[in-house]
Amino acid sequence: MRSVCVFCGSSAGNRGAYAAAARAVGRTIAEKGLRLVYGGAMVGLMGELADSALAAGGEVTGVIPVALVEREIAHEGLTETHHVKSMHERKAIMADLSDAFLALPGGVGTLEELFEIWTWAQLGHHRKPVGILNVEGYFDPLLAFVDRQCSEGFMRGEHREMLVVESDPERILERFSDYQAPSVAKWIKTGER
């Protein structure tokens, strides 16, 4: 593993623990000699994440659509920045540049990025780890819903197990390093309704 893509909020949220977690993730990625890939903004958790990685001597790649450069206030001090035309291009480049994907607290954009990359893993488009840093139980309601999807027959257990969940940055990166994607012959059983 050489690089980790982090999805997180362009807002800081209402708890200081979210910003502290973003800083810890950025610092941990840098200290492990990994490159941080993220959405390229200098505000909210995104800014905390990038600034912390840079302060720890890490390399940081930002990918930001031109339409969001002013709205999200593009970070000017990154190692590398890609200005792209669309959100689709942003996500595709982030996926190509990254060996693992981690979601921190954020809004609907963070969830959309997480679910798309997790769906790609389920469909076999990549075999890279996908995870959540569950800061102070932020993702507990979402994880309960995902478990409900399994119990109601809308998700296979093997696909649920693809999502790595931890509350400690060191531990989740260790699990990413050890990650082996499951082999699932079919993702839909023939004849199911």
SS (H, E, C) the chain: CCEEEEECCCCCCCCHHHHHHHHHHHHHHHHCCCEEEECCECCHHHHHHHHHHHHCCCCEEEEEEHHHCCCCCECCCCCEEEEECCHHHHHHHHHHHCCEEEECCCCHHHHHHHHHHHHHHHCCCCCCCEEEECHHHCCHHHHHHHHHHHHCCCCCHHHHHCEEEECCHHHHHHHHHHCCCCCCCCCCCCCCC
Residue 27 belongs to a domain: yes
pLDDT digits (tens, 9 = 90+) for 63-120: 999 988 877 689 999 999 999 999 999 999 999 999 999 999 999 999 999 999 999 9
Q: Would you say residue 192 lies in a domain?
A: no
37: domain CATH number?
Answer: 3.40.50.450
Q: Is residue 189 part of a domain?
A: no
Domain count along the chain: 1
- Structural domain range at position 72: 3-178
Is 186 domain-assigned? no
pTM of the model: 0.93
pLDDT tens for each residue of 147-172: 999 999 999 999 999 999 999 999 99
In a domain, 28, yes or no: yes
